[in-house]
Amino acid sequence: MAAGRVVVSVLGGDALRRALAASVPRLQAALDRAIYAEANAILTDAKKRAPMDTGTLRASGYVTLPQPSGAGSRVEAGFGGAAKGYAGVVHERLLTAEGEAIRYQAPGTGAKFLESAVSAAQGGMAERIGARVARSLAPGVTTASQSRIAALAPTMPSEERLPPRAKKSKKKSKKKKKR
């Protein structure tokens, strides 16, 4: 051995690389489902915080399906549809035309309803996403193992993307009666 030099050989390195590459789509699909679930939880909270007159604003909330974006995936949560013309105004307006604070009828509702829901969700978001990924990848695995997986999952890069899997409906088959 030369001074200051160490050589390490890994047996089965090619098989390990193939196995890791094969797991990337499964990991990405689990991550996509986890960020979609997190966005839906944020939207549910934002709907509770949104002011309500006719209910159109609250009903206009949406979450997009995960889409590839850079080295990860992207989902969008927001308000639009029938409320597209005024959702942004209601979200941003803090004062009346006279410069007074707007007082909403229901406590806990008002402007910045989406922004405040996102702010409230930020604490622990990476841990929740990681835990969802771990549960998805390793159902029945102990909590300690899931915690170790969860700590790594949100930061792992991917080159392939898969949309969340749709649940297939099971058709009931008719059984022939014996006579």
Helix axes 13-49, 125-137, angle to 10 degrees: 130
Sites in the chain below the pLDDT cut of 50: 155-179
Q: Closest by alpha carbon to 67, among 165, 166, 162, 167?
A: 162
pLDDT of residue 158: 41
Residues 64-79: tens digit of each pLDDT: 999 998 888 999 999 9
Q: What is the pLDDT of residue 142?
A: 53
| CA 106, 61, 55, 53 torsion-angle sign | positive
Spatial separation of the C-alpha atoms in residues 109 and 47, rounded to whole Å:
9
Extract the tokens encoding 12: 């089965």
| Contact between 58 and 47 (Cβ < 8 Å) | yes
Residue partners of 172: CB distance under 8 A and separation at least 6: none
pLDDT for residue 100: 85
Nearest to residue 108, comparing CAs of 116, 119, 100, 118? 116
Is the whole-model pTM more than 0.75?
no
Residue 67 has a pLDDT of 93
- C-alpha–C-alpha distance, residues 44 and 28, integer Å: 24
Q: Which stretches within 4-153 are classed as H helix? A: 13-49, 56-59, 87-92, 113-122, 125-137, 143-152
Angle CA(24)–CA(27)–CA(32) in degrees, nearest 5?
120
Q: How far apart are CA 18 and CA 7, in angstroms?
A: 23
Domain spans of the chain, in order of start: 22-123
Beta carbons within 10 angstroms of residue 75's beta carbon: 18
